[in-house]
């Protein structure tokens, strides 16, 4: 799967986001080591602590399907370029990240690919 396709799927997923409070829609697409893809969008709740990020939504779908290792995560928001995962999502990614997990975002001149280890170098794992 090409990274452009992953970002496009994340973009499509962002269209389904439910963000009536923040107005910050996000879509994510994860690629597993078995070359399966899963998408997710963020959805908010009146009780803000119950809000779910797009990345964790997509990762949860992969986990529910038996996948355990992620090789790439594409994240898209129509609200801003360079949409990186929040701290909670980074911690969840740590649990399921392959050694060379790529984070794909929309950059100023196309795709921006960043190694997960660069944005979350010492994640907590029991």
Single out the catalytic residue among 44, 55, 67, 106.
55
Our answer to whether residue 55 is catalytic in this structure is: yes
According to DSSP, residue 120 is labeled S
Give the Cα-Cα-Cα angle 84, 110, 114 (nearest 5 degrees).
40
Active site residues: 55
């Amino acid at each position: 799967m090409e990274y452009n396709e992953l970002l496009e799927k994340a973009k499509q997923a962002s269209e389904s986001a439910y963000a009536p409070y923040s107005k910050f829609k996000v879509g994510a697409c994860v690629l597993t080591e078995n070359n399966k893809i899963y998408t997710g969008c963020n959805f908010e709740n009146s009780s803000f602590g119950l809000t779910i990020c797009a990345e964790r939504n997509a990762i949860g779908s992969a986990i529910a399907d038996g996948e355990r290792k992620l090789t790439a995560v594409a994240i898209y928001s129509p609200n801003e370029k360079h949409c990186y995962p929040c701290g909670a999502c980074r911690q969840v990614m740590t649990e399921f990240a392959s050694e060379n997990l790529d984070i794909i975002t929309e950059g100023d001149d196309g795709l921006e690919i960043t190694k997960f280890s660069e944005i979350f170098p010492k994640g907590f794992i029991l």
